[in-house]
Structure formats: structure tokens, C-alpha cells
Amino acid sequence: MSTPVQPQSPRPARPRPKRGEGQWALGYREPLNKNEQAKKDDNPLNVRDRILNIYSKRGFDSIDPSDLRGRFRWMGLYTQRAPGFDGGKTALLEEEELDDRYFMMRVRSDGKLLPSATVRALGEVGRDYARDTADVTDRANIQYHWIRVEDVPAIWDRLEAGGLSTIEACGDSPRPFLGSPVAGVATDEIIDGSSALEEIARRYIGDPAFSNLPRKFKTALTGHPSHDVSPETNDVSFVGTVHPEHGPGFDLWVGGGLSTNPMLAQKLGVWIPLDEVADAWAGVASVFRDYGYRRLRSRARLKFLVADWGVEKFRQVLEDEYLHKKLVDCPSPASPVGHRDHIGVHDQKDGKKYVGLAPVAGRVSGTMLVQLADLMDTYGVAGARLTPYQKIVLIGVEPTVVEQLIDELDLIGLEARPSNWRRHTMACTGIEFCKLAIVDTKERARSLVAELERRFPGLDTPITVNVNGCPNACARTQVADIGLKGQLVTVDGKQVEGFQVHLGGATGLQANFGRKLRAHKVTSADLDDYVTNVVTAYLEDRTEGENFASWAAR
């Protein structure tokens, strides 16, 4: 039976009720999208027990789909991309259709100093369980591939013995922290923030109060004047500053993030003492948890809230509702120019040296890490830290052994005096393993570096090249001199791997997003020549002392 049609009656226009954005603090708990529903159904941290007691024993096929494609991330585990799908398939298939039966595993380092035993454990896990993979990511993680769920308990045992964890290395949670790689040792350090990062991790990683955030939440903290943790591009950053009366402490920056709607962090202009940083972190994370936008995943990062509120309102809510005190005003620290990666040999406060090493675009292996641990033992090196630039810094090297150590590091592929190209090129995971990728990145970056070293052997100025496999900008597309965003490019009616180019991005004093020039799309095959042409134009046209970012902004 058909439903009778109701007579239409003219109604006065009424304003539509404003739909909430899913902010818990405003009572908007519904409607939930599927990610919010999964988090509501079961706290994602509970998946750890199921991995240990069920899935690792019964195998891949026993994994509940909502755990596999959701909660596993809270344990630092994603399914990796199944081999055989090209970039065109990425757009055509659902993410889960690209699932392999193996996992990518991320291990957080959180700015910790890793002694040789821990570096060895990281290497052995890569060698024994991950087909010898062990990349250094630009979140200072070690990232493995080819992990089987059956091996996860044994891997966790080895990592935990070294003081490391994969908890909340992914997911809508407090992702791995970036800390200054030279904390506590650099001669020019303003303040050593290591104890604050340790305190945040000790209190809040794995804390159910922060395990259901609207989306990922990235933290950076540095007391080094070079701002060596890319604080402009994190959700929350603590940046060393000096108050004229109170001395060294931290400014608070919020709302940075790249991806498809890039925004630079906004500076509160405050002074927070070292022992109050963890409380301030919890305050910012709580604002995000309670007021963050949950309805649409595309708006669920802190940057959108900060952009809508403005930094004054953000500060007021933080102070009034969470910290219950006023923060101390203090001008934000001056923005630096120059290197942030600590490559090469540098003096420490205690008379020893620290030595920054460059693998190519973060590509390391388990074997290489075991070899590195052996060298650390042989030369009495205190420890290693991973950097946000896909590098490794050795801390506490005796000056008398530096040169010999560097020679031996060269032999295993870790250069302390790399070319400008090797030093300043980063690449994300790309199509080799990432389900979102459209193009290859790591191998493309490696061959690009080799070719640019051949074509510009004596390049006298840094030019950063960040290679990304898709618009998500994991390797910070928009803040590189030459930022490459993977996409398909049409040539003679055929779609091939290529890149949209962003030119002249920077952090620090010149903080700015690279210009996306519509015409600057290049196929992967033509990339060497494209970069060569751009660099040649810069070298011929630059004025005295003009860097690439300034030239590109003209």
C-alpha cells in the first residue's frame, strides 16, 4: 500500500539547527562516524590483550575486522600494502582491499637516549622478524615491515627489555613525541627538556583518559635554539625560551599540522617551567579531547579548532577550565635560520662530541642497526637518538676516537659528512608498504640523491627535498625547498607516477608553505631533470647569500 501524500503547506523558513562538530564538551556525542563508534564500542588499548592471548596464537584470520583496521593502530600496527597494486589502484579500491597479511610496526623513541643494547635489540627485531627492515621515520620512530601477528609478543618482549614500546605509536592518540636529539649535551642548549618528555610519557601514554582523542595528536619538545623538532608542524610544541626574571622554560605552540590543509602552529607567548610542562601537555590534550571536532575525520585535528577559536580563546579555555591558573606571559623565542639536523661532529658541554649521521632518506636495516650497536660498544659511545629528519645522532663520543669511528660508520652506510643532497632529502614510506600511497618514494629518493650528487657534486648551500607518496605529507611536503607530493600525472593520455611540486617552503625564521605551482607537475621518470633545471635556475639567478626559499619566494 502506498503512503498517502501529505498536502504541502507553506511553512515559514526556520533557521536549521546548527549541527555540532562532535565536540564532547558541547554535548555532541552523536552521530558518530565509524571510527568514533569503534572507539566507543571498546577502548582501543584493550586490543593488546587480544593480540597477546588470541590473535598471536590463532593467526591473521582470527583477527576481528574492527581490531584489524582500527584498534591495532593503538599498538603501533597497520596492515601494510599488499604487493602488486599500482598507484592507480589506490584511488579505486577501499583501503582494506589493499590489505596485506603482514603489518607495519612503529616503535616510538620519544626523544630517548638509546644505549647500544637497545639499538642492538631494535636491529635484531628487524633482522629476525621484519625481513631486515628498520626505517628511521621523521617522527623519530623505527618502522618495521613484514611483521606477522604471531611474532608480535616476542617482538614486544625484546623491545620492552630495551625500554621501548609501540603503544599509541599510531591511532587517535598521543603519537610518538619528538625531543631534541641533543638534549642535555649541546653547548648552546637553552634548557634540557628530557625530564618533561619522560614525565609526559610516564603519566599519559597508555592512559585511557587520552586513548580516545578525535584524531592523532603530535607532540614536540625542544630546548635547543635551532628548534630541531619542527615545532611549527606539531599539534602541541614546547619550545625553549628565557624569561627575563624566571630564566629558562618553554613557550607553548598549538595547532600545527600539514596534510591537505596545512597550518603552522600558533604561539601562545608564555613561559612554562620545566616541572609544569607535563600538566600543560595534559591540559592541551584535554582541550583537544573535549572540544576537538569528531564528526568529520577531515576536520578532527587540533589545528581546525585553533584556527576557529584563535589562540587567545584557546589560551583562555586552557587556563580557566584545565590548568586553573594563568600562564606567565613571555615573548616567544626568536625563530632560527639554518640547520636543525645535527649532522656532523659537534662539541658537547662535557668535552665529548656528538656525531650526526645520515642514512639515505631514513632507509636503515636491522643489520645496519646491529652493526651500529657493535661500533657503539667498540668506541664507548654513550647512546644514540633518532631525529625528526630521519637521521641518527650518536651522543658521548670521545674526541680521540671520532675520526676512526666515522670511517667505520661510513663502511656501514651511515655518513657523518654526507653530501648536501643526502643530508637534506627525506622520503615517506610510499608505495612499497603504505596503502594510501600513489607513488614510490624511498627508492625514488635514493636514485634522485645519487643523480644530484653526480650532477651537483659541490653544491654549496642546503636545498631540502621532501618526497611524499600522496597528499598526506608525512614527510612534510609543504615545508621543503622542493616538496614533492605523489600523484598520478597524465602523459599522452596515460596516467603515470609523478609529483605535484611545492617550491620554497621553510620552517624557522622563514616559516612558510611552499608555493604549489599548477604547472609544476612532473613524472617520476623526469624528476632528476626537473630538479636539475630548478636548481640550475636558482644557482644562476641567486644574489649574494640568498637561500633557495628566498629565491623561490621572489
Q: Give the interface with ligand SF4 as residue ranges (CB under 6 A).
A: 428-430, 434, 436-437, 468-470, 472-474
For the CB of residue 316, give the shortest distance to ligand SF4 in the complex, in Å: 35
For the CB of residue 70, give the shortest distance to ligand SF4 in the complex, in Å: 17
Nearer to ligand SF4, 421 or 499 (CB): 499
**CA–CA dist 207, 285 (Å, integer):** 12
Pair 344, 414: CB distance under 8 Å: no
The cell numbers describing 151, all together, are 611474532
For the CB of residue 432, give the shortest distance to ligand SF4 in the complex, in Å: 10
Nearer to ligand SF4, 141 or 429 (CB): 429
Which residue has its beta carbon closest to ligand SF4?
Answer: 469
Nearer to ligand SF4, 66 or 472 (CB): 472
> In terms of C-beta density within 10 A (0-12 exposed, 13-18 middle, 19 or more buried), how is residue 403 classed?
exposed
For the CB of residue 88, give the shortest distance to ligand SF4 in the complex, in Å: 14
Question: Is the backbone peptide bond immediately before 336 cis, with ω within 30 degrees of 0?
Answer: no
DSSP 246: T
CA distances from 184 to 247, 259, 432, 452, 523 (A): 17, 32, 37, 36, 44
**CA–CA dist 370, 119 (Å, integer):** 7
- The closest of 228, 179, 162, 178 to 369, measured between CA atoms, is 162
Nearer to ligand SF4, 222 or 500 (CB): 500
Nearer to ligand SF4, 434 or 452 (CB): 434
Helix (H) / strand (E) containing 92:
helix 87-92
Side chain identity at residue 103, one-letter code: F
> In terms of C-beta density within 10 A (0-12 exposed, 13-18 middle, 19 or more buried), how is residue 407 classed?
exposed
Nearer to ligand SF4, 270 or 474 (CB): 474
For the CB of residue 262, give the shortest distance to ligand SF4 in the complex, in Å: 13
CA distances from 390 to 198, 356, 438, 454 (A): 22, 11, 21, 22
Nearer to ligand SF4, 130 or 470 (CB): 470
Nearer to ligand SF4, 386 or 436 (CB): 436
For the CB of residue 151, give the shortest distance to ligand SF4 in the complex, in Å: 23
**CA–CA dist 277, 272 (Å, integer):** 6
For the CB of residue 428, give the shortest distance to ligand SF4 in the complex, in Å: 3
For the CB of residue 468, give the shortest distance to ligand SF4 in the complex, in Å: 4
